[in-house]
Amino acid sequence: MEWLLAPATAAAASTLRGELTAFLRRHAEESDVVDDAGLVVSELLGNAVEHAGGPIWVTLDWSASRPELVVHDLGPTFDVGKLTLPTGDSVRGRGLWLVSQLATDLDVVAKRDVGKRIGTVLPLTRRVERSIDPPRREVNPLPALDEAGPTGFGRESFLRALVVELARTAENSTGPASAEQTVAQVGATVGGQMEEEYRRAREVVGRLTVDQITDCYLRLKAAINGDFYVISADEERIVLGNRRCPFGDTVRRAPALCRMTSSVFGGIAARNHGDAVVLLDERIAVGDPECRVTVLLGEAARKNPGGHHYRQHG
């Protein structure tokens, strides 16, 4: 789940802190440490509001047993190794030091252009819930194969399919992860149809090779006005960069749409290599200058506990 604070005010941070804490309380196995987790959220948001001076993106990823909280901002970075308990009556720096004591794996990474990414793992475990890795629907797939042009499906067909499938899935979705679940379902369905279009255009039969999967990714993203390029590709992983989001600047106000890329890429990779994990390493949606997406294949995916996991259905 993801949120954007713009403008990033103390009041907006307080509201989000309450929403996040309530979500953690509903789904955590341990109720006695939820307030500690809420304090971590409060301190990281407060630090960003005070020092960033711009928009703040917040992500909560609970795909593993413990939730990972990530805060992106455009403010100055700091060195985690130098966090110490302030002496005397000083309060500056006390909040981040407290975060380092209550949470684990506190990590600060400077963005390539401006700003930073602060990530930490909250001291909670989640009750077991149903998976949101959806199978591709085989009935009435959208868009139709005949709508593809010389370079693949165009933006109009893609966006129409997006809206239709979002509405269809939302009608049957409940729970706090419904938005992300909806986008994942749309990606699984539309991505599968895009793979079929690619196979027809390239006259491919059987399992797609790594080079063909990479070519398929580039083809489908170029058709919807993305600007993806290959950084590296081998039998274990495909790494792509992207200079332009197909959704334009709107994606900064709806970072959950990045799950579309994850679901499309992960579904295609899993259908051809059994298992796949998609890591959204950098995203325009949260203030990075470009996107960077890593797709792990087969055994490499099975060994990786993070990211978004996909498997071959049927």
The closest of 61, 17, 11, 15 to 255, measured between CA atoms, is: 61
Q: Looking at per-residue confidence, does 35 or 95 come out higher?
A: 35
Tell me which residue has tokens 């129409």: 160
Rounded to whole angstroms, what are the CA distances from 118 to 72, 140, 281?
6, 42, 13
State if pTM tops 0.85.
no
Tell me which residue has tokens 């109720």: 31
| Domains of the chain, start order | 2-121 (3.30.565.10), 145-311 (3.30.1380)
Other CB atoms within 10 A of residue 198 CB = 22
Q: What percent of the chain has pLDDT over 70?
A: 80
Residue 166 dihedral angles phi and psi, to the nearest 5°: -60, -45
Question: Residue 148: left (phi > 0), alpha (psi -120 to 50), or beta?
Answer: beta
Taking the C-alpha atoms of residue 26 and residue 234, their distance in angstroms, rounded to an integer, is 42
Taking the C-alpha atoms of residue 212 and residue 92, their distance in angstroms, rounded to an integer, is 53
Is 79's pLDDT higher than 70? yes
Most confident among 79-88, 100-109, 296-305 (mean pLDDT): 296-305
Taking the C-alpha atoms of residue 142 and residue 107, their distance in angstroms, rounded to an integer, is 41
The average pLDDT across 164-187 equals 61
Q: Which pair of structure tokens corresponds to residue 292?
A: 């960077």
Three-state DSSP at 57 gives strand
The average pLDDT across 267-290 equals 92
